[in-house]
Amino acid sequence: MVTYLYNEIFCSKRMNKIQKFTGRFMEALVKACGYMTALTVILIVLFLFSEGISFFSMRPTEDNTALWVNKSNTVQQLSATQVKDVFDRKITNWQEVGGANMPIQLFTIDELAETFTEDQLGKSFEHVPRCINAFIDSVPGTLAFFGDKQTEAGLPAARRMEMAKISFIGFVSGTEWFPTSQPVASMGIMPLLLGTLLVAFFSIVFALPLGLAAAVYMAEIADDRIRRVLKPMIELLAGIPSVVYGFFGLVVIVPFVQEQFNLPVGETALAGSIVLGIMALPTIITVSEDALRTTPRYMKEASLALGASHWQTIKNVMIPYAGSGITAAAILGIGRAIGETMAVLMVTGNSAIIPHSLLQPVRTIPATIAAELGEAPFGGLHFKALFALGCILFVITLVINLFVELVLKKRDKQQ
Amino acid sequence: MKNIQIYLIGLSLLAASCGGGNTGNETKTPAMSISIKGSDTVLPLSQKEAEDFMNGIPGAAITVVGGGSGTGITALMDGTTDICMSSRDLKAGERLKFTEKQMDIKEITIGYDALTVIVHPSNKVEQLTREQLEGVFTGAITNWKELGGDDMPIVAYSRESSSGTYEFFKEHVMDKKNYASSVLNMPATGAIVQSIGQTKGAIGYIGLAYATSSVKSLKVSYDQGKSFVAPSIAGAKDKTYPIARPLYYFYDGKKESSVKGFVDYVMSPEGQKIVADIGYVPVQ
- Do B183 and A176 make contact, defined as CB atoms within 8 angstroms? no
Whether residues A73 and A53 share a domain: the answer is no
Q: How far is CA A71 from CA A75, A147, A156, A292, B232, in A?
A: 10, 19, 9, 73, 51
Give the lowest-confidence range in A33-42, A206-215, B4-13.
Answer: B4-13
Q: Which residues of chain B have a pLDDT value below 50? A: 1-2, 8, 10-11, 13-30
Give the per-residue pLDDT at A272.
94
Instruction: Determine the average pLDDT of the residues in A298-318.
Output: 91
> Which residues of A fall within a CB distance of 8 Å from B1?
2, 5-6
CA A132 to CA A284: how far, in whole Å?
A: 64
Residue A177 lies in a domain: no
Pinpoint the alpha helices (H) of chain B: 2-24, 43-56, 69-78, 92-100, 130-138, 164-172, 189-198, 233-237, 256-267, 269-278
What is the percent of chain A where pLDDT is above 70? Answer: 93
Residue A226 lies in a domain: yes
Of A113, A136, A168, which residue constitutes the final position of a domain?
A: A168
Instruction: Determine the average pLDDT of the residues in A335-356.
Output: 88
Instruction: Determine the average pLDDT of the residues in A373-383.
Output: 75
Whether residues A52 and A69 share a domain: the answer is no
Kindly state the greatest CA–CA separation across chain B.
92
A123-138 burial, b if ≥16 CB within 10 A, otherwise e?
Answer: eeeebbbebbbbbbbe
Give the per-residue pLDDT at A216.
93
Whether residues A229 and A308 share a domain: the answer is yes
Q: Does A5 have pLDDT greater than 70?
A: no
Q: Which of A84, A87, A351 sits opposite B183 (nearest CB)?
A: A351
Whether residues A81 and A45 share a domain: the answer is no
Give the per-residue pLDDT at A150.
74
Which burial class, exposed, middle or buried, applies to B163 when counting CB atoms under 10 A from its CB (0-12, 13-18, 19+)? Answer: buried
CA B145 to CA A325: how far, in whole Å?
A: 55
Whether residues A72 and A21 share a domain: the answer is no
What is the extent of the structural domain holding A133? 65-168
What is the nearest CA distance from B146 to chain A, expressed in angstroms? 16
Whether residues A389 and A331 share a domain: the answer is yes
Q: Which of B161, B186, B199 sits opposite A180 (nearest CB)?
A: B161
Residue A407 lies in a domain: yes
- pLDDT band of residue A284 (cuts 50, 70, 90) is very high
Beta bridge partners of A143: A69, A106
Residue A16 lies in a domain: yes
Residue A12 lies in a domain: yes
Say what angle helices A381-414 and A365-372 make with each other, to 10 degrees: 140
- Do A377 and B199 make contact, defined as CB atoms within 8 angstroms? no
Residue type, A324: S
Whether residues A400 and A307 share a domain: the answer is yes
Whether residues A149 and A236 share a domain: the answer is no
Give the per-residue pLDDT at A332.
87
What are A116-142's pLDDT values in tens digits?
877 777 766 777 888 888 888 888 888
CATH number of the domain that residue A87 is part of: 3.40.190.10
> Which residues of A fall within a CB distance of 8 Å from B162?
371-376
Whether residues A117 and A202 share a domain: the answer is no
- Do A109 and B92 make contact, defined as CB atoms within 8 angstroms? yes
Whether residues A392 and A318 share a domain: the answer is yes
Domain count, chain A: 3
Residue A127 lies in a domain: yes
CB B200 within 8 A of CB B277: no
pTM exceeds 0.90 for this model: no
Of A14, A35, A57, which residue constitutes the final position of a domain?
A: A57
- pLDDT band of residue A19 (cuts 50, 70, 90) is confident
CA B77 to CA B97: how far, in whole Å?
A: 8
Q: Could you give the 3-state DSSP secondary structure of residue B89?
A: coil
Neighbours of B212 (CB within 10 A): 11
Q: Does A153 have pLDDT greater than 80?
A: no
Whether residues A8 and A122 share a domain: the answer is no
Give the per-residue pLDDT at A10.
61
Give the per-residue pLDDT at A204.
92
- pLDDT band of residue A43 (cuts 50, 70, 90) is very high
- pLDDT band of residue A198 (cuts 50, 70, 90) is very high
- Do A349 and B153 make contact, defined as CB atoms within 8 angstroms? no
Domains of chain B, earliest start first: 33-112+246-278 (3.40.190.10), 113-237 (3.40.190.10)
> Which residues of B fall within a CB distance of 8 Å from A180?
161, 167
Q: Tell whether ipTM is more than 0.85.
A: no
What is the percent of chain A where pLDDT is above 90? Answer: 32
Give the per-residue pLDDT at B122.
92
Residue A178 lies in a domain: no
> Which residues of B fall within a CB distance of 8 Å from A176?
181
Give the per-residue pLDDT at B7.
53
Q: Does A213 have pLDDT greater than 90?
A: yes
Residue A181 lies in a domain: no
CA A36 to CA B149: how far, in whole Å?
A: 63
Give the per-residue pLDDT at A415.
59
| Per-chain mean pLDDT for chain A | 86
**Higher pLDDT among residues A71 and A229, named by residue:** A229
Whether residues A205 and A242 share a domain: the answer is yes
